[in-house]
Amino acid sequence: MIRTRSALPAVVAVAVAVAAALALGGCKAGSSGSSGAPAGKAPHGSALAAADALTVKGRAPKTGYARKEFGSAWSDTDHNHCPTRDDVLKRDLRDVRYKSGDCQVASGTLVKDPYTGTTITFVRGHSKVDIDHVVALSDAWQKGAQQWDRTKRTALANDPLNLLAVDSSTNRSKGDGDTATWLPAYKPSRCGYVARQVAVKKKYALWVTSAEKNAMKRVLSGCPSEKLPTG
């Protein structure tokens, strides 16, 4: 009996300590993060919030897809008298030199390619740099674009928001993969890459598959404050 009475205060003390620890833990779980949003909720204006709002449907057949359905390659849709390809090269390369005037890019350097993290020298006609459609045109075709007119498809194909200068061999291995099937090997680029795909799909009201949406949210959950790119 003496042992029982002397042990009771210790048991009570432990119980109080555990309760206090749980209370503190609960406060931390419910507190706001650096984004100012409650834990578990995507910050307003973030790519994660936009991904969560994308429409989910199944992938439509690829029947009828052809590159020409998105207009001629690298049209001058912004009417600056330069093809879209050169506009993107000027935007993404450093130390740019021109073949003539200030339009046709002759050479430059792609510093830290977003797909491989390497630095690539661009020389026109001997290039290892491609301009990638972040949302592949055939992927877009199967997720809403087949229902559009040619003007809207041409706009998507030439929208700088949907275009990146990247390593050519990696771009070709990507094919028409979406977030569920392909991500850049260079991990520091993944948040920005997925955020750009989300931005394009939101802008053009393209849908996503369930697997694709889950993959987008999985990547962006690791960078919940990643902003939605604009273009």
18 — pLDDT class (breaks 50, 70, 90): very low
Indicate the average pLDDT of the chain.
85
Amino acid, res. 151: T
pLDDT at 41: 75
What is d(CA 161, CA 213) in angstroms, rounded to the nearest whole number? 19
Burial of 152 (0-12, 13-18, 19+ CB in 10 A): middle
DSSP conformational letter for 56 = B
Would you place residue 218 in the very low, low, confident or very high pLDDT band (cuts 50, 70, 90)? very high
Which residue, chain included where needed, has tokens 């275009």?
Answer: 163
Residue with tokens 């993969």: 177
Among 222, 70, 65, 31, CA closest to 155: 70
48-87 pLDDT tens trace? 999 999 999 999 999 999 999 999 889 999 999 999 999 9
**Pure H helices in 74-209:** 84-92, 137-141, 150-157, 168-174, 190-203
For 67, 103, 140, 141, 230, the CA distances from 157, given in Å and listed in that order, are 9, 20, 10, 11, 16
Is the per-residue pLDDT at 5 higher than 60? no
Q: In which band, very low, low, confident or very high, does the pLDDT at 33 lie, cut at 50, 70 and 90? A: very low
- Give me the sign of the Cα torsion angle 172, 176, 201, 87: positive
Q: At residue 43, what are phi and psi to the nearest 5 degrees?
A: -60, 145
Is the alpha carbon torsion for 180, 186, 192, 193 positive or negative?
negative
The answer to whether residue 40 scores a pLDDT higher than 70 is: no
Write the pLDDT tens digit of every residue in 87-122: 999 999 999 999 988 899 999 999 999 999 999 999
* Contact (Cβ atoms closer than 8 angstroms) between residue 157 and residue 190: no
Tell me how far the alpha carbon of residue 25 is from its chain's centroid: 33
